A and B are shown apart, each in its own frame.
Chain A
Amino acid sequence: MTVPAPQPSASIRSDAGARVVSPESEHAGLEISVGAPGAILTRSRWVMTLGSLGCVAMMVGLIGLHFGAQPIAYGDMLQVLVHPIGPGTADGEAADVTRTIMLQVRLPRMLLGFLVGCSLASVGVALQALLRNPLADPYVLGVSSGAALGAATGILFGVGATILADVALPACGFAGGLVALVVVYRMATRDEQLPIHSLLLAGVILNAIFSALIMFITSIMEPNRSYGMTTWLMGTLTAPPYGGLVGLAVYLLIGLLFLFRHMRILNILALGEESARTLGVDTEQTKRRIFVLTALITGAIVSVSGMIGFVGMVVPHAVRLTTGADHRLLLPASALVGGTFLMGADTVARTLLSPVEIPVGIITALVGGPCFVYLLLWRKDRLT
């Protein structure tokens, strides 16, 4: 006997059905359910969250401008910000030095940190949704180490010393990232589909190979150059000239803009590939497009700042715990938090052992690693 007599249960169900069909309850339901607090993302929650995160980013930015080998008083900072190219004041020379430190050293570096953090976190969000794996980020796929290998090869052949360095090294990184992506994609592609587990495995293997090649390149370099390269690989932000910064910003913002167009599709993809297809998403094409965008963004970041880890993994995860999983909020919020986090981490890296600077990648790993372990233990159910 496996099935109960359906009659009594069916009649219960009929009652429920009658209740559902009555118009009053339908209206009342609309008030209390979908509109219930936190049930769905509303425009006001979107604006409030991003607005407050933007304010926090600005505050962290100002604090970062203040701290350094030589702290700048907030009053002076304000004066410089109000008159960026204003005439020298009473104590002319000191003010000029302050202005130079602030505008030529710290501000571009903060902006670079913000851009890199934004991009890393956004790429992390996209890859996590796409791979349905909260542990995914550019490093897992091998895109970062591919980009690093590309840039390292460029440095080995002296591209970094030419006047083309600003353009050529990101191009090398991008090429390396793309090669990594194509290889990883080919390795994992079977039956015109892209199974997600084999993709992760391919990324792990690729990472091992690329790391070995990078170590090989480092070992055959002259000691002083290999030292610089090791520092860069660990993840360092250095104050760029404004021309380079603007170029990078335009490049990254265009990439991010394309990525942000996929926020709603990322929601659907996060349900799983088959579900996404039954909801009308062309998953193969979308995946390819997002992977290429990811490689473009990662290639540029790595060539500029090396391999800064954990931002792309921890930030989206932490943000998801507070904003929820809807990518329409998760992606921009993670971008802001990632940028803020990297600005803060870089401020610590500059000031902790001042005047010695620590590679910011070490700070992010030291902060992000324990955070991640904590999340893992605290929210084990969400990470499986």
Chain B
Amino acid sequence: MSEVSGNRTDDATRCGMTGTVDQRHAYDVQSVRFRYQSRESNTTRWILDDVSFQVYEGEVLGVVGPNGSGKTSLLKVLARLLNPVEGRIDLFGRDLASMPQREVACLVGVVPQDTYSLFPFTVAETVLMGRFPHQPRGRWTGGLGWESREDVAIAQQAMMTMDIVQLAHRVVTDLSGGERQRTVIARALAQTPKVLLLDEPTAFLDLHHQVEICSVLRRLRDERGLTVVLVSHDLNLVSQYCDRILLMDRGRIVRLGGPDEVIEPDVLESVYRCRVFVDRHPGSGLPRVTLPGRHLSGDN
């Protein structure tokens, strides 16, 4: 599974790795509970219910679970888009809730599920916006804020990583789904984050682009020690590309561990409430999930 691994440090790596961080945990999530506030808040159920786990620095963690199990909410809590009602999250040893939004943005890049764009920004402009949290502010000329050479170089690097250099002048509203997805990932990389959070990064992509994006994520983990948390419905993708897998159901963690520990027939069948077959991937030897064929679905 190892990708090309260079130990060369480029601008992006240097910028991303400036702070001296020795913690082994990128995230330390301690008994977090979340629910949407409403007038009848006492009756609404917890979206996240007493969730505790750690994300190790430099791992690729896959989050899976049925619809409505709280995967996306968990990612938003990690991104500080939602604030936990109870519990505490530490990001590299600091309390996430007390960090300014901009500091979080310097450490954490987020790739949302919906990458639809309304306004005709070019790909290069979009990727350069990833530099925003690093740019100076507060001056009267802050409205203009021209990008520095370093910003352009970092954006360039991010575009090369995602293989979208040739799209630089194209307008995002004209791109295909896969191109747009790669543009948004490049924007997140231009933030030179230590952690990348992705929500269904492969949901609308064909096989080629699914494999490509997952391979790039592994490469970034190997080369830069990037920590990746990705939410996906695709158990096979997660099993093949993630170091550890977090299986959720109804806001709780069912199991957390390597693919062999989580991708087990009895665990999956109880969570997803359907029969599955688990065998070995012929190439990697990692567990592989198959749905029961139509000739078997009746004898359930």
- The chain A residue sitting closest to B134, CB to CB, is A280
A9 to chain B minimum Cβ distance, whole angstroms, is: 4
Query: Do B106 and A280 touch (CB < 8 A)?
Result: yes
A17-38: contact bitstring with B at CB < 8 Å (1 yes, 0 no)?
A: 1101100011001101111111
Q: A33-B165, A41-B125 are in contact. Are A3 and B240 (CB under 8 A)?
A: yes
Within 8 Å of chain B (Cβ to Cβ): is A134? yes
A200 to chain B minimum Cβ distance, whole angstroms, is: 14
Query: Do A4 and B129 touch (CB < 8 A)?
Result: no
Within 8 Å of chain B (Cβ to Cβ): is A277? yes
By size class, the interface of chain B is: 35 or more
Task: From B106, B144, B290, give the contact of A1 (CB < 8 A).
Answer: B290
| Residue numbers in B under 8 Å from A36 (CB-CB) | 124, 168-169
Report the stretch among A83-91, A174-182, A255-263, A353-361 that lies at the interface: A255-263
Within 8 Å of chain A (Cβ to Cβ): is B173? yes
Alpha-carbon distance A280/B174, docked complex (angstroms): 27
Query: Do A132 and B124 touch (CB < 8 A)?
Result: no
Query: Do B161 and A40 touch (CB < 8 A)?
Result: no
| Residue numbers in B under 8 Å from A132 (CB-CB) | 118-119
| Residue numbers in B under 8 Å from A382 (CB-CB) | 120, 173
- The chain A residue sitting closest to B161, CB to CB, is A20
Query: Do A324 and B122 touch (CB < 8 A)?
Result: yes
Alpha-carbon distance A54/B120, docked complex (angstroms): 24
Within 8 Å of chain B (Cβ to Cβ): is A5? yes
Q: A21-B6, A30-B156, A264-B132 are in contact. Are A134 and B118 (CB under 8 A)?
A: yes
Task: From B37, B120, B288, give the contact of A191 (CB < 8 A).
Answer: B37
Query: Do B125 and A325 touch (CB < 8 A)?
Result: yes
Within 8 Å of chain B (Cβ to Cβ): is A112? no
| Residue numbers in B under 8 Å from A324 (CB-CB) | 120-122, 125, 171
| Residue numbers in B under 8 Å from A270 (CB-CB) | 118-119, 121
Within 8 Å of chain A (Cβ to Cβ): is B177? no
Q: A16-B163, A17-B3, A279-B133 are in contact. Are A264 and B144 (CB under 8 A)?
A: yes
Q: A33-B124, A38-B122 are in contact. Are A328 and B143 (CB under 8 A)?
A: yes
| Residue numbers in B under 8 Å from A381 (CB-CB) | 173-174
| Residue numbers in A under 8 Å from B283 (CB-CB) | 5-7
Q: A262-B143, A278-B79, A278-B81 are in contact. Are A33 and B168 (CB under 8 A)?
A: yes
Query: Do B102 and A280 touch (CB < 8 A)?
Result: yes
For window 261-282 of chain B, which residues contact chain A by CB distance below 8 Å?
Answer: 281-282
Within 8 Å of chain A (Cβ to Cβ): is B20? no
Alpha-carbon distance A91/B255, docked complex (angstroms): 97
A31 to chain B minimum Cβ distance, whole angstroms, is: 10
Query: Do A264 and B215 touch (CB < 8 A)?
Result: no
| Residue numbers in B under 8 Å from A263 (CB-CB) | 143-144
Alpha-carbon distance A16/B216, docked complex (angstroms): 10
Within 8 Å of chain B (Cβ to Cβ): is A162? no
Alpha-carbon distance A274/B145, docked complex (angstroms): 22
- The chain B residue sitting closest to A2, CB to CB, is B236
Within 8 Å of chain A (Cβ to Cβ): is B160? yes
Query: Do A40 and B234 touch (CB < 8 A)?
Result: no
Within 8 Å of chain A (Cβ to Cβ): is B211? yes
Within 8 Å of chain A (Cβ to Cβ): is B53? no
Query: Do A277 and B120 touch (CB < 8 A)?
Result: no
Alpha-carbon distance A264/B125, docked complex (angstroms): 11
Query: Do A29 and B119 touch (CB < 8 A)?
Result: no
Q: A9-B215, A17-B4, A33-B166 are in contact. Are A40 and B133 (CB under 8 A)?
A: no
Query: Do B121 and A277 touch (CB < 8 A)?
Result: no
| Residue numbers in B under 8 Å from A26 (CB-CB) | 156-157, 160
9 other contacts beyond A9-B212, A281-B101, with CB at 8 A cut-off? A3-B207, A3-B211, A13-B211, A37-B169, A39-B125, A278-B81, A279-B132, A280-B102, A328-B144
Please give me the 8 A-B residue pairs with the lowest Cβ-Cβ distance, nearest first: A280-B105, A280-B102, A280-B133, A278-B110, A39-B124, A263-B143, A325-B119, A39-B169
23 A-B residue pairs with CB within 8 Å: A5-B282, A6-B211, A13-B216, A16-B163, A18-B4, A30-B153, A34-B156, A34-B168, A35-B152, A36-B168, A39-B125, A134-B118, A191-B36, A264-B144, A264-B145, A270-B118, A270-B121, A277-B101, A278-B105, A279-B129, A280-B103, A320-B119, A325-B119
